[in-house]
Structure 1
Amino acid sequence: MTRQIRLTGFIAFSPVHLSPGLWAHPRSRDLDYKDLDHWVDLARLLERGRFDALIIADGIGIHDVYGGTADAAIRSGAQVPKHDPLMLVSALAHATTHLGFGVTASTSHELPAVLARRFSTLDHFTDGRIGWNIATGVSDSGARAFGREAVIGHDARYERADEFLDVTYKLWEGSWQDGAVLRDRASGLFADPGKVHRIRHRGAHFDLDTIHLAEPSPQRTPFLFQAGASPRGRAFAARHAEAVLVGGPTRASVASSVRDIRARRAALGRDPRDIAVFTLATLIVAPTREEARAKHDEYRRYSDPDGVLALLSGWTGIDLSRFDLDAPLRPGGQRDDAVLSVIDGFTRADPDRVWTLREVITHTGIGGRGPLLVGSPADVADEMEAWVAEADVDGFNLSYAFLPETFADVVDHLVPGLQRRGLYKRDYAPGSLRAKLTGSDRLKPSHPGAAFRDRARIAPAA
């Protein structure tokens, strides 16, 4: 059976996500980021293209590492301003029928009971199409917004995240039994108190005693995305994630990450294929190869290097204003505890190539650190097939140069060609986001969250 390619769209609720400067292009609608119709039009476009989900990146901090200030990020609009994506989803779900939504939220900055209620509410409003892109938070800027001096240490963040997930599983899976909600007009009984349970949890990071305030939603637990790149992050993904978002400039670098994630899944006694992997990519597609290359050249003229450096500095925690743009980058020479360094990712991805910071800026300036595939529909489809075969990915998490053109070109030019090759679905499967991706509305029995349906697993901690 031909392996189907899956697509998600990757955006930020901001004038810039991963392509600083491209908002200034005359065909760009990125400056309409405050206009709800802009996002509704995008959601409908992605649904027409049979995308599985729209994933919305988020974070509470501002990129203020480059040059020691936020000036470059503010000048270029590099993920600032940045609005709350949870408020966007209801409207987009109302305008669509099948498109899923993955919203980023941090276990370092949220509270389990509060976040659980928000996601349950959205799962009801979307008819089961909500997903959570689990983040742990990587920036000191974000930590300061919550009154901390610095971000929590790397391993401590994941320890907190593990406990956070266990608490939310208890709320989503164990607080209300199936059949608890009756809605019996004749008797006046809305729900059976004997089937609604108080969750008492006392742990290293969280202490709560509450009943989940939302009745069971179509999926109960939202579909779980995760994007940890470090070994500890991959271990977390292997335990919790149903889909993993990876990124890297070469097939070999991504293949290494995918092998590790699947091996970790197998080590837990679970099916290593039972986790979908989406790799970051940006596609510039036009009817002919020459037209696509001309678009690429045109886009390059709008790229803002200072905005790119603001993003790179924020992601790595390294002030790149101190670096010579043309000096060779050495693997392992600069690393931040917060993330697997983006710069290290480039220098290790292709050991035979000597990268400079200027080359990294050029590579990441349109769409981030994933591959930039430019060409005719046939050219790009060939490349995507090669990535699936060599990197063992299940799909592509697509970034963009600017909205809506990048995605419109994919939907209008590329998707029909993939469908003709038998590589892409012609229609959506029925049901929730989880059902479309896994065949079931609920967490599979092998998932650790499913164990919290058992009352013994949600008993108070000693």
Structure 2
Amino acid sequence: MKKQIRLNGFTLNSVAPHSPGLWRHPKDQGHRHGDLDYWTDLAQLLEKGKFDAMFLADVLGIYDVYGGEPDAAIKNAVQVPLHNPLLPISAMAAVTKHIGFAATYSATYTEPYKLARDFSTLDHLTKGRVAWNIVTSYLNSEAVNLGMEGQIKHDTRYDRADEYMDVVYKLWEHSWEEEAVEANKETGVYADPEKVHPINHEGEFFNVPGVQLVEPSSQRTPVLFQAGASEKGKAFAAKHAEALFTTLASNLEELKAFTSDVRARAVKNGRNAEDIKIFPGIVPIVGRTEKEAQEKYEELLTYVSYEGTAAMLSGHTGIDFSKYEPDQYVENVTTEASHGFLRKYAASTTRKWTVREAILHHGLGIGATKVIGTPGQVADELEAMANEGDADGFNIIQAASPSTFEDFIDHVIPVLQERGSYRTEYEASTLRENLFGKGKVRIPDSHHARKVRLTDKVHI
């Protein structure tokens, strides 16, 4: 039986989200990212394509590793200017009914009590269509601009994030009992204080004593996305993630190895293998003929900024590529930035990457797989990745915005629908139901969130 493919539209509230230089393309509208109409139009476009969610990436700092300064990033609009991903969501939800919104927020630089309130509020406003993409953040500029002397060490960030999750689970799942809200006009009781509990969390990294400020939303806990690729990251995903984004796999064999590893780790954590939906990132380049698609791809490459991509890849990996000759091979060194991006180019089992090759590949969709061809050929590749590689769906990464989405929705999705590999209508109204099945609004009992328990305050 064919797997039903799931789709997210991958973007970021900036000029040229993941393809430096593409803002210059004649069809690109990234310059409109500060216009609310741009976001409502984009949400309606993705809902037309029956996408599960708009995935909103984010960072809180500037790419200043390349040459030790931010000039290349600023000059080439490398995720700067960069606006807050949460703020357009209410407006996008108001003009749509089904599509979800997966916003990136840092577990390193946002206090858990505040994050729990913000996402609960959004889940209410969207009627259960919100997801949180959990990140621990990889830019040193994020740390120093938020008042720290420097980054927390990579592995410590994950240890800290693990406790962070316990805090937000207590707030979302356990602070308010199901029947706490009475709204009884006769007795004057809105909420029963006996059914609203302080979480009394005292841990290594966080002390959070109080009650959740927001009553339970439709989903209680938002759908949990994550993209960690290091050993720590994969262990974190196996315990917490409901959906996992990756750009690591470059062929079916690598994809199958990755999906098998992730699902085995989930089972070891007492979960079901299918409890994690795995979304490889792809950049689809669609043409009426194979030749036209290839020509479109080659034309897009002419707009990619080499310097801008070098600045982005330097930030992603923590390595200043201005110090490397273009024909040097990328070396696998230890940094405090993203281990996954560095491993992709420095520890590939299929090829060795020079600095020039890595930068050119990274510049169109942060190194994600390019799927180039006719609508039927693109559909063939996606079905192979789903049915042979065991992917659950794909994060569709834009080259030019929104034309990448428009081409895919207009030409590839009808092929997938005709083949029975993709929905023709949404299954439900909440995001978790659309991902996992009607009736599955709440996070399952097998998830760690349901196993966390509140502790009584001990008075000495």
**TM-score band, normalised by the shorter chain?**
over 0.9
Match of residue 283 from structure 2: 282
SS of the equivalent of 1:117 reads: helix
Task: State the distance in 2 between where 1:2 and 1:69 align.
Answer: 49
Q: Does the Cα contact within 8 Å between 2:230 and 2:340 map onto a contact in 1?
A: no
Q: How does 1:34-49 map to 2 (within 5 A)?
A: 34-49=34-49
SS of the equivalent of 1:273 reads: helix
Q: Does the Cα contact within 8 Å between 1:246 and 1:254 map onto a contact in 2?
A: no
Q: How does 1:440-455 map to 2 (within 5 A)?
A: 440-452=440-452
Match of residue 392 from structure 1: 390
Q: How does 1:190-209 map to 2 (within 5 A)?
A: 190-209=190-209
> Does 1:335 pair with 2:359?
no
TM-score w.r.t. structure 2 length? 0.96
Task: State the distance in 2 between where 1:299 and 1:407 align.
Answer: 15
User: How many residues were matched structurally?
Assistant: 456
> Does 1:51 pair with 2:51?
yes
- Residue identity opposite 1:273 in structure 2: E
SS of the equivalent of 1:407 reads: helix
Match of residue 349 from structure 1: 348
Match of residue 430 from structure 1: 428
CA 1:7–1:234: 2 relative to 1, 3 Å: same
SS of the equivalent of 1:391 reads: coil
> Does 1:217 pair with 2:214?
no
Task: State the distance in 2 between where 1:167 and 1:215 align.
Answer: 16
> Does 1:459 pair with 2:456?
yes
Match of residue 403 from structure 1: 401
Task: State the distance in 2 between where 1:348 and 1:255 align.
Answer: 17
- Residue identity opposite 1:349 in structure 2: S
Q: Does the Cα contact within 8 Å between 1:451 and 1:457 map onto a contact in 2?
A: no
Task: State the distance in 2 between where 1:187 and 1:459 align.
Answer: 29
> Does 1:372 pair with 2:370?
yes
Task: State the distance in 2 between where 1:435 and 1:459 align.
Answer: 34
- 1:95 is displaced (CA, Å) by 1.1
Match of residue 418 from structure 1: 416
Match of residue 144 from structure 1: 144
- 1:259 is displaced (CA, Å) by 2.0
Task: State the distance in 2 between where 1:287 and 1:188 align.
Answer: 65
Aligned identity (percent) is: 45
- Residue identity opposite 1:344 in structure 2: R
Task: State the distance in 2 between where 1:355 and 1:199 align.
Answer: 49
CA 1:289–1:459: 2 relative to 1, 3 Å: farther
- Residue identity opposite 1:101 in structure 2: F
SS of the equivalent of 2:278 reads: strand
Task: State the distance in 2 between where 1:338 and 1:21 align.
Answer: 23
- 1:266 is displaced (CA, Å) by 1.4
Task: State the distance in 2 between where 1:131 and 1:258 align.
Answer: 21
Using the TM superposition, name which of 253-262 and 115-124 deviates more.
253-262
Q: CA RMSD in A?
A: 1.5
SS of the equivalent of 1:86 reads: coil
- 1:461 is displaced (CA, Å) by 7.9
- 1:341 is displaced (CA, Å) by 4.9
SS of the equivalent of 1:127 reads: coil
Q: What stretches of structure 2 of length at least 5 have no aligned partner?
A: none
TM-score w.r.t. structure 1 length? 0.96
- 1:337 is displaced (CA, Å) by 3.3
- 1:121 is displaced (CA, Å) by 0.3
> Does 1:301 pair with 2:298?
no
Task: State the distance in 2 between where 1:359 and 1:156 align.
Answer: 32
Deviations 1:64-106 (A, max 9, x none): 0001100000001000011111111111111111000001111
Match of residue 32 from structure 1: 32
- 1:160 is displaced (CA, Å) by 0.8
Q: Does the Cα contact within 8 Å between 2:229 and 2:340 map onto a contact in 1?
A: no
- 1:390 is displaced (CA, Å) by 3.7
Deviations 1:8-46 (A, max 9, x none): 011110002111111011111111111110111111000
Task: State the distance in 2 between where 1:219 and 1:225 align.
Answer: 14
Deviations 1:266-315 (A, max 9, x none): 11222112210000111011222222222112211111001100110000
Match of residue 174 from structure 2: 174
- Residue identity opposite 2:268 in structure 1: A
Task: State the distance in 2 between where 1:360 and 1:339 align.
Answer: 15
Task: State the distance in 2 between where 1:288 and 1:335 align.
Answer: 44
- 1:142 is displaced (CA, Å) by 0.6
- Residue identity opposite 2:23 in structure 1: W
CA 1:270–1:391: 2 relative to 1, 3 Å: same
- Residue identity opposite 2:148 in structure 1: R
Q: Does the Cα contact within 8 Å between 1:120 and 1:216 map onto a contact in 2?
A: yes
